[in-house]
Amino acid sequence: MRRAAAALAIGLAAAPVAAETLVITLSAEEIRIASTFTGTTITVFGAIEDGEGLSGYDIAVALEGPRTETIVRRKDAVVGLWINRAEARFTNVPEFYAIHATAPLADIAAREALGALGLGVDNLALGPTMAAGAAATGFRQAVLRLRREAGRYVEDGGAVERIGSNLFRTTFSLPSDVPDGAYTARALLFRDGALQAEASENLAISKTGGEQFLFDAAHENAWLYALAVILMAASIGWLGGTIFRRD
């Protein structure tokens, strides 16, 4: 983290002086997931250079990624059985989304402004869906609720810490089941409810070693992977029967 803060300071020294210039950097640019991975944290450091410091400003920092297609199904009771009766397919849903801010988002900007920026869990764009009207709204709320319950969608108005007159930082907790893929850290600077500046940095989360091999095999050569699993299960069954066979 000290290296990241030092790099940020160097970047500020080299940057031209401009009103409300926002700069951020991450404590790491890549996180590699092994079998022993139990979760980790990523810290976003930022600064504003405008001669006035952070006084009078609010900051929101979001960490998001990767976006995938998601299908949500609704179960209904039919003749005493719960079965899937309807579904909605969302084409662009972030697997992970966390947003931290210096204050609750509703106190930083108007609801319309937050919606236009896609800022906050309730304002996330999830992509087109085949459902329409009230059905689409219900399915959308289900996606948000399920992600919240799983700890994948987090909102914390008060987690961005000011450091001195023009520096800030916030730390995101990544769970042990955090999806791998491309992530984006996005910082936004507000004053009197209006967006003044924005900056972003990329983060890569990837599996390593055997985990990556198994993941690639299961997705890129599914039938070979399934055949290998079946043969392995049959071999284990045969070996167990041979070892414990009674004469």
Contact indicator for 198, 186 with CB cutoff of 8 Å: yes
Q: What is the pLDDT of residues 105-145, one digit of tens each?
A: 999 999 999 999 999 999 999 876 665 555 678 888 999 99
Beta strand 81-101 with 58-78 is antiparallel
pLDDT at 54: 81
The amino acid at 49: E
Six-digit token string for 7: 């790099």
Dist. CA 116–CA 123, nearest whole Å: 8
From residue 186, give the alpha-carbon distance in Å to each of 167, 196, 200.
Answer: 16, 14, 4
The mean of the pLDDT values for the chain is: 80
Report d(CA 115, CA 123) in Å as an integer: 5
- Could you give the CA distance from residue 109 to residue 102 in angstroms, rounded to a whole number? 12
Residues 38-85 have pLDDT tens digits of: 999 999 999 987 657 788 899 999 999 999 998 887 766 665 665 656
Report phi then psi at 143, rounded to 5.
-60, -50
**C-beta of residue 209 within 8 angstroms of C-beta of residue 180:** no
pLDDT tens, position by position, 152-175: 999 999 999 999 889 999 999 999
Pull the structure tokens for residue 121: 């869990």
Fold of 2-208: Immunoglobulin-like (2.60.40)
Domain range summary for the chain, segments of one domain joined by +: 2-208, 209-247
Tell me what pLDDT residue 87 has.
Answer: 78
